[in-house]
Structure 1
Amino acid sequence: MKRLLWLLLPCIYSQAAQAQPWNNKTHLTRQDTLRGSITPERAWWDVLRYDLCIQPSFTARTLAGHNNITYKVLQSQRTARMQVDLRSPLHIDSALINHQEHVPFAREGDVWYLHLKTQNKNAVNTITIYYSGRPHEAAQPPWDGGWIWGEDSLHRPWMTVACQGIGASTWYPCKDHQGDEPDNGASLAIRVPDTLAAIANGRLQSKRQHPDHTVTYKWAVTNPINNYNLCPYIGKYMSIDTVYQGQNGHLSMRYHVLDYNYQKARAHLLPHSFLVMECFEHWFGPYPFYEDGYQLVDAPGYGMEHQSAIAYGNGYRNGHHGRDYSGTGWGMQWDFLLVHESAHEWFGNNITARDPADKWIQESFACYADVLYMKDLISDAAGSTYVIGTRRNIRNDAPITGPYGVGREGSSDMYPKGRNLLHMIRRMIHNDDHFREILTGMNRDFRHQTVTSRQIEDYLIARSGIDLSPVFDQYLRTPQVPVFEYRIGGRTLAYRFTNCVPHFSMPLLIKAGGEHWITPRASWQELTLPHNIHTITVDSCFYVGVQARL
């Protein structure tokens, strides 16, 4: 006879935050491989900088512009084909090398091949690509990404982009791969009617008026930035400026809000964002982009971690669009979007997954930032209750890590299950000072880098002193939840894990007449206790099934 008790709540509903329509494609094509891998036409050059200029037409729903791509030659090429990505229905009009010679090009789907002459190793060149057309329009931003032709509540133009996953090539030509960020930063110049304002990443460099009643706003970042993080915001914006005294000195914080949101934005964002920054600098280390500042921008849709210009769409209220993601009540005590998207400045923008298959690096850590924020804001117990409550959103439908080299993510379980994985690891370490040292060390040692899952796993293993490799194999690379089986015979406790990878083992805290740390494996082990026991419980921080054998 068996009795089964699960330390995991059933998946009773699915949050919209986990929906990924663009990622639901089951049939992969050559286009997926071309975009998702380092092809020979990508391998020989390294992006140094993007200087992008655009002019959107709200009435025509079209976009025209050009991108100056400065690059370094990594491998000499007698004749070189350069792969540049630009998604249909946008098209390349012309291309110039070093602002002089026209470059011939050919198209294969959403991939464009530029035919260049001799490229000498270590040379630095600039390719200028002029393009135009109607950009792919987002149907359900940010999950089905693209350009957003929105209107505010007064029916005035309100435009932006959300393209994580679907790719920045939905609105500008680039090397659309997460593994190659422009090392020397980027600029974005946006020409709009002079009745509107244009916001983008980093700091405003210039504002130039034109005779046709348009104005060009030019923004720039000095730090490396991922393609999907470059973002224009166009609307009737007003700005709120303040300064945070952070670990690296004065950090400019600016909030760009629709004019009619000014008062409630000022009341809500200023105090909350200061608390968020104080918490995350404590747990993760200094804000990674002091040179470019920190901005929150009113955005149509949901929210997105655009580096130094975070898209905010939570309506200046607590919760997750007015709901508690965990169902515990604790999620209504703080602004989910403000906390989560700000955490991405460390995990996502400072440390970026080289391949979307390893997106858990960004999402799981940013999700666990919720728990650390609650620890500082309310209590450790509240944070633990919250993270356990989020288990109701876990589907266990597929592995958290996805297929490599095709631009595809793994399961949306990277959010709730990844959060619970890190909660278990923190419990195993059982020393918050040490756990904080690991998190700050990650952001220091991988500063402004793209990384692989293996790099992060190895780092956690080395710094924690715990062999977490079977834990990562189980929770990242399979959808199975291990089951802790046990049987009691007087003073003897026999135990093992089932429903697991063959080599699985994991430290586990149990209560059996007192607290005991054990390390179950897939084979039976025994523990002799000082006294007879009748029941045991597994610490609720562990996301495992529990099954008693009688």
Structure 2
Amino acid sequence: MTHPRRRTITPLLRREAVAATVPVAVAALLIAAGPATAAGPTGRSGVGDPYFPLAGNGGYHVAHYDLTLRYDPAGRHLDGKAVLTARATQRLTRFDLDFQGLKVTGLTVDHVKADYRRDGQELVVTPKRALRKGEQFRVTVDYTGTPGPVTDPDGSLDGWIPTDDGAFVAGEPQGAMTWFPANNHPLDKSSYDFTITVPKDRAAVANGVLLGQRTTDGKTTFRWRQTEPMAAYLATATVGKFQVKQYTTRTGLKVYDAVDPREATAATPVLNKLPSVLEWESGLFGPYPFRAAGSIVDHALETQSRPVYDRAPSLSTLVHESAHQWFGDSVSLTSWKDIWLNEGFATYAEWLYAEQHGGDSAQKTFDALYARPATDGLWEFPPGDPGSGANIFGTPVYARGAMTLHVLRTAVGDRAFLRILRCWAAAHRYGHGTTAQFEQLAERESGKDLGPLFQTWLYGRGKPSKP
């Protein structure tokens, strides 16, 4: 099973369904933004996530990011321009962007200079005139500096992380704000364009489809487009010396693999299985949600359409990260508290794959885990409410989350269980979901009262009684 710390990154797949997703995102943000404060109509600094209270921002929805980056690996220097096309969800005299570390050299709203100040991870923007509710506006931020990571609650590093030949992005959960200004919470999903310039002996890999690359004056510029809506933490701009393989699958999916040459021998046999893995997962979970796929293997995580691996992945890891294209990327979280909807589902995909390809049955894997004593870390906290941001990538979220799905499968039968998974992926495609919504769906599709099951396995403290 793919284990903590976290999954790989899928950069390239998401654009056709932006229009369909925007109403969902806007509605969620309207609720999160709440009423205007006593100081006036200002967007809240944070959408109210219980684990990351400053993540995201209220008062607007970003429909599209256009990111232009120039990175010098030798000096570890980044120059950037971010153009955000957004819509106000309330009257705004002021709003925040999540942006940490880099120096802002210019900022405009609708081509007019705006006032701004830094407040921790918040870039507080005051436009020259108030923005009307429903008004579309464009924010342009020019910035420069040496990006670095942020430390997550569990002590791990997140964000723009230099490597010996470039950099990779570890975006989950907070890292996006270390390299571009964003509305950085899964509630706000957007389309993306990336234009990334690097030395000619490097490649720059982002999300979605490669539109083209051009080399002049010793520099190569790569242009990528992610059309399907994507949460900011899934964005990547990984730079390095890679062996690149591009091909189109028999179903028309564009695949782009970028592999550190030091990992190529070990990685290639596994990555060659990607088309068959995606075909198998599509048979279980429904049509693949994106136009592109692939992998990044760089002495470095989950990104949309193109997971990033810090070493040659195992087949089970490939299955896990590919499953996130359905569970976590296409269907995104409403709150980080519900992270089991991503990691538990992807882990159970590993169990199902092994079961159907000559490995252990899911029941055998479940039994081996359940045999662990009550003092084992597997039972340390419930996966449905890990308790803090420090726990969201802990073993219970992955393994006990998968165990919950197996108990559900046993209770409702295989046909109903697979129908539940497909309905979940279809009903929330390019949008968001909550644990409560999944529980309701499972009960509706199975015709069973599943409240006690979910209460025990998702929220119960300690080791549950064996079902």
Q: Give the shorter-chain TM-score range.
A: 0.7 to 0.9
Count of matched residue positions in the alignment of Structure 1 and Structure 2: 420
Residue 361 of structure 2 is matched in structure 1 by 382
Which of 350, 362, 373 aligns to 1:370? It is 350
Aligned partners of 2:207 and 2:362: how far apart in 1?
32
Contact 2:69 2:78 in 1 (8 A): yes
The answer to whether residue 233 in structure 2 is matched with residue 228 in structure 1 is yes
TM score, norm. by length of structure 2: 0.82
CA distance 1:386–1:454, shift in 2 (3 Å): same
The 5 Å alignment of 1:243-254 reads 243-245=248-250, 249-254=251-256
Question: Are 2:45 and 2:56, in contact at CA under 8 Å, matched by a contact in 1?
Answer: no
Q: CA RMSD in A?
A: 2.9
| Cα distance, 1:350–1:287 mapped onto 2, change above 3 Å | same
Contact 2:208–2:225 (Cα < 8 Å) also in 1:
yes
| Corresponding residue SS for 1:300 | coil
The alignment status of 1:421 with 2:366, answered yes or no, reads no
- 1:188–1:256 Cα change, 3 Å: same
SS in 2 for 1:454: helix
Give the match for residue 358 of structure 1.
Answer: 338
Are the aligned partners of 2:45 and 2:57 in contact in 1 as well (CA < 8 Å)?
no
1:70-469 equivalence runs, <5 A: 70-77=85-92, 80-87=93-100, 89-98=101-110, 100-116=111-127, 117-137=129-149, 143-151=156-164, 157-182=165-190, 185-211=191-217, 213-245=218-250, 249-259=251-261, 261-262=263-264, 265-270=267-272, 272-289=273-290, 291=291, 293-301=292-300, 304-315=301-312, 318=314, 335-378=315-358, 382-391=361-370, 392=372, 394-402=377-385, 409=392, 412-430=395-413, 432-469=414-451
Give the direction of change, closer, same or farther, for the CA distance of 1:411–1:468 in structure 2 (3 Å limit).
farther
Question: Aligned letter for 1:110?
Answer: Q
Secondary structure (helix, strand or coil) at the match of 1:395 reads helix
Asked if the contact 1:158–1:235 (Cα under 8 Å) also holds between the matched residues in 2, the reply is: yes
In structure 1, the residue matched to 2:18 is: none
1:76 match: secondary structure: coil
| AA of the residue aligned to 1:109 | G
Deviations 1:475-533 (A, max 9, x none): 222323333xxxxxxxxxxxxxxxxxxxxxxxxxxxxxxxxxxxxxxxxxxxxxxxxxx
Unaligned runs of 5+ in 2: 7-43
The answer to whether the 8 Å contact 1:394/1:417 transfers is no
Distance 1:19 1:336 in 2: 15
CA displacement 1:381-436 (0-9 Å, x = unmatched):
53322233344474322232347998983854110101111001000112x22221
Quote the offset at 1:120 in angstroms: 2.2
Equivalent residue number for residue 4 of structure 2:
18
Separation of aligned partners in 2, 1:421 and 1:403: 14
* Structure 1 residue 263 displacement after superposition: 5.7
1:460 Cα deviation after fit: 1.5
Report if aligned partners of 1:394, 1:416 keep a CA contact under 8 Å in 2.
no
Match of 2:48 in 1: 37
Deviation sequence 1:278-297 (CA, Å, 0-9, x none): 220111011110x3x11111
Compute the displacement of 1:198 (Å): 1.1
Give the corresponding residue for 1:69: 84
Query: Aligned equivalents of 1:69 and 1:386: distance in 2?
Result: 46
CA–CA distance in 1 between the matches of 2:331 and 2:67? Answer: 24
Native 8 Å contact 1:41 1:81 kept in 2: no
| Distance in 2 of aligned mates of 1:298 and 1:108 | 35
| Residues 452/267 of structure 1: CA separation in 2 closer, same or farther (3 Å cut) | closer
SS in 1 for 2:149: coil
Between the aligned partners of 1:281 and 1:473, the Cα distance in structure 2 is 30
The equivalent residue for 1:4 is: none
Q: What secondary structure is seen at the aligned counterpart in 2 of 1:17?
A: coil
* Contact 1:35-1:406 at 8 Å conserved across structures: no
Whether contact under 8 Å (2:298, 2:309) holds in the other structure is yes
Larger Rg computed on CA atoms: 1
Separation in 2 of the partners of 1:377 and 1:403?
32
- Following superposition, the deviation at residue 314 of structure 1 comes to 4.1
Q: CA distance change for structure 1 residues 35 and 364 in 2, over 3 Å: closer, same or farther?
A: same
Question: Is the 1:37–1:407 contact (alpha carbons within 8 Å) kept by the matching residues of 2?
Answer: no
Contact 2:327 2:345 survives alignment (8 Å): yes
Tell me how far apart the structure 2 counterparts of residues 242 and 410 of structure 1 sit (CA, whole Å).
33
The one-letter code matched in structure 2 to 1:472 is: F
Distance of 1:423 and 1:190 partners within structure 2: 43
Distance 1:58 1:50 in 2: 24
Question: Is the contact between residue 69 and residue 81 of structure 2 (CA under 8 Å) also seen in structure 1?
Answer: yes
* Larger RCO, structure (CA 8 Å, separation 6 or more): 2
Superposition deviation, residue 260 in structure 1: 5.6
1:138 Cα deviation (Å)? Answer: 6.9
Q: How far off is 1:62 after superposition?
A: 3.0
Asked if the contact 1:48/1:72 (under 8 Å) is kept, the reply is yes
Query: Closer, same or farther in 2 for the Cα pair 1:435/1:142, shift >3 Å?
Result: farther
Of the candidates 68, 73, 95, which is equivalent to residue 58 of structure 1? Answer: 73
1:364 Cα offset (Å):
0.6
CA distance 1:180–1:174, change in 2 (3 Å): same
- In the alignment, the residues of structure 2 paired with residue 36 and residue 60 of structure 1 have an alpha-carbon distance, to the nearest angstrom, of 36
AA at the equivalent of 2:247 = T
1:257 CA drift (Å): 1.9
Name the amino acid aligned to 1:130: D
How far apart are 1:269 and its partner, in Å? Answer: 1.9
Q: Percent identity?
A: 25
Q: Distance in 2 between matches of 1:35 and 1:41?
A: 5
Partner secondary structure for residue 236 of structure 2: coil
Letter in 1 for 2:260: L
1:477 aligns with 2:456: no
1:336-369 Cα distance to aligned partner (Å, 9 max, x none): 2211111100101011111111111111111100
- Partners of 2:307 and 2:274 in 1: how far apart? 12
What is the TM-score of this pair, normalised by structure 1? 0.70
- Offset of 1:133 from its aligned partner? 2.5
Distance 1:371 1:405, change over 3 A: closer
